[in-house]
Amino acid sequence: MKQQKPKGTQDILPGQSEKWQYVEGVARDVFARYNYAEIRTPLFEHYEVFARSVGDTSDIVTKEMYDFYDKGERHITLRPEGTAGVVRAYVENKLFAPEVQKPVKVYYMGSMFRYERPQAGRLREFHQLGVEAFGSANPATDVETMAMAYQLFQTLGIKNVRLTLNSLGNTESRANYRQALIDYLMPLKASLSKDSQRRLEENPLRVLDSKEPEDKQAVADAPSILDFLDAESQAHFDAVREMLDALAIPYVIDTNMVRGLDYYNHTIFEFITEVNGTDLTICAGGRYDGLVEEFEGPKTPGFGFGLGQERLLMILEAQGIDLPLSSGLDLYVAVLGEEANLAALNLVQAVRQQGFKAERDVLNRKLKAQFKSADAFSAKTLITLGGSEVESGQVTVKNNQTRAEVLATFDEIVADFAGIVAKLG
């Protein structure tokens, strides 16, 4: 049976997976410093979890959901994003209870699924690192969360990431702006793309987010949401800007950035970087003070972001950043003949149990091929094990680089491999 992976999916093979692990390790480390703990929620949820929160008229819900009816006739969706499931879990597990320390800060990493047209940096199964903080309306939370993403990029050595900032204000500000935007766009309706003509009816802010050239042209002179912020919204936005300045995190304001999900209010942001001449958003997020209530939890402010792992790796690649990935084998055992099979097994096991990375030949190959393997695995030391070594109970341990050698008994290796390696210099 010849089979191919589904369109828009990827196999992450050895050689590549080390990079994923490295990036995830750095992210865990950075998130832990900000007192985030991991949460793992299901890869699939009831359809309503996303339909309600992400927004009935959003591209994600109208076009991109992987939804189906299971054998029990339940309407199920593979998660297209991480926040809705985490909010569902927050409410279902009563993390709002007074005995749970606030803010509740959680991160996740894993697959997301969207039925999109696959292209560079856009897949149908992709991976996100995401974080959510519940229970703080303090603009300092907005800023420390953006600073955390910024610190992650810096730690990975990524250069030229631009923080783009905007505010959607509170519900009242947004409603006032919505009307002004409709008034502005209505006379231009005929010039908009089909999608945006629909958006104008359902969710006019979305028109600002369109990537179609005709839409971009139409919204170029649109009123700015920042002119519609009420006092509370303005104060929040000003505080965020002051604190970003205080931390010396550079940003630009883009009043046409509105984000593709319906649940945001106040601060929204993207980290954008250029890859091969085009702008790519790697990380996007914002404040969602109404979302916990949507899930019938108590009124709880929230803030979070999602960061695309494929795009992050693309940028690391494009910027030629060398990741400090773990190095090769500590020991390779070349095996000569059936009579050395068991001794080779014992030897590598003893070395592995002492915490070293060891491999042996299991394919009965010619020595030359085995030595090639030792080189391919960047083995630091090499032992050749045949009938005579088994008989004498003694082997030569060789430094595979300097060719320095030392004689050692099996017992010595079992007792203290590190000591033998030390003798090799």
Task: Give yes or no for a contact between 328 and 356, defined as CB atoms under 8 angstroms apart.
Answer: no
Q: Does 308 bind ligand ATP (CB under 6 A)?
A: yes
CA-CA distance, 196 to 250, in Å (whole number)? 32
**Is 115 annotated to bind ligand?**
no
265-275 and 162-167 strand pairing: antiparallel
Q: What share of the chain is helix, strand, coil (3-state, %, to 5)?
A: 40, 20, 35
Among the listed ranges 84-92, 306-314, 319-327, 339-347, the one in contact with ligand ATP (CB under 6 A) is: 306-314
Q: How far is the CB of 110 from ligand ATP (least distance, A)?
A: 12
Select the residue interacting with ligand ATP from 36, 50, 126, 237 (CB under 6 A): 126
DSSP letters for 165-215: EEE---HHHHHHHHHHHHHHHGGGGGGS-HHHHHHHHH-THHHHT---HHH
Q: Does 79 bind ligand ATP (CB under 6 A)?
A: no
Taking phi over 0 as left and psi of -120 to 50 as alpha, with beta for the rest, 55 belongs to left
Q: How far is the CB of 113 from ligand ATP (least distance, A)?
A: 9
Q: How far is the CB of 145 from ligand ATP (least distance, A)?
A: 14
Task: Give yes or no for a contact between 321 and 363, defined as CB atoms under 8 angstroms apart.
Answer: no
Q: Does 284 bind ligand ATP (CB under 6 A)?
A: yes
The residue among 314 and 344 lying less far from ligand ATP, judged by its C-beta, is 314
Hey, is 107 helix, strand or coil?
Answer: strand
Q: Where are the alpha helices (DSSP H) in 247-366?
A: 291-294, 309-318, 341-353
Select the residue interacting with ligand ATP from 116, 212, 294, 405 (CB under 6 A): 116
Q: Does 315 bind ligand ATP (CB under 6 A)?
A: no
Determine if the peptide bond prior to 42 is cis (ω within 30°).
no
Q: How far is the CB of 8 from ligand ATP (least distance, A)?
A: 8
Task: Give yes or no for a contact between 180 and 223, defined as CB atoms under 8 angstroms apart.
Answer: yes
Q: Residues touching ligand ATP: how many (CB under 6 A)? A: 17
The residue among 116 and 274 lying less far from ligand ATP, judged by its C-beta, is 116
**Is 108 annotated to bind ligand?**
no
Q: How far is the CB of 205 from ligand ATP (least distance, A)?
A: 13
Q: Would you list which residues are annotated within the binding site?
A: 81-83, 114, 128, 132, 259, 263-264
Sites of contact with ligand ATP (CB under 6 A)? 81, 114, 116, 121-123, 126, 128, 260, 281-284, 306, 308, 310-311
Numbered residues of the known binding site for L-histidine? 81-83, 114, 128, 132, 259, 263-264
